[in-house]
Amino acid sequence: MIQTVDAIIIRNNKLLVIERKNFPFGLALPGGKVKPGETKEQALVREVKEEVGLDVDNHQEIGYYDTPGRDPRGDYASTAYLCEVSGEATAQSDAKSLLWIDLNDLEQYKDRFCFDHYTIVRDALGLKK
């Protein structure tokens, strides 16, 4: 099982997502694979910086997601974190573009999310399924 991390970043009641450059296309939380010799927390800090140019100042684990079939690329498991960040968000590496989604409008975007990221965001926000 390939270990990954996902970052839930919220500012001014808006969620930061990336539009993926690569398959599977769609909206996703910033994040990625944990490299050999790296902790999940180190991967989180690195991936957020690489994908959206932000520094993770604080983080809280939200949950672990390993449902079979959650990623069409293979057998992936992800640890999701609610993150406090600093800096200005800019699209980097795997991000075609960035989007700040108003939390009041989140449901309008649910079919555009890749993987199970919509579920992860809802879990982080404490919303009912």
Q: Is 35 helix (H, G, I), strand (E, B) or coil?
A: coil
Q: Do residues 29 and 115 lie in contact, with contact meaning Cβ atoms separated by under 8 Å?
A: no
Question: Is this model's pTM higher than 0.85 or not?
Answer: yes
Per-residue pLDDT of 69-100, as tens digits, reads 888 888 899 999 999 999 999 988 777 899 99
What are the structural domains of the chain? 2-125 (3.90.79.10)
Asked whether 117 and 81 are in contact (CB, 8 A), the reply is no
The tokens describing 105, both together, are 């409008």
Instruction: Report pLDDT digits (tens) over 31-60.
Output: 999 999 999 999 999 999 999 999 999 999
* DSSP-assigned beta bridge partners for residue 47: none
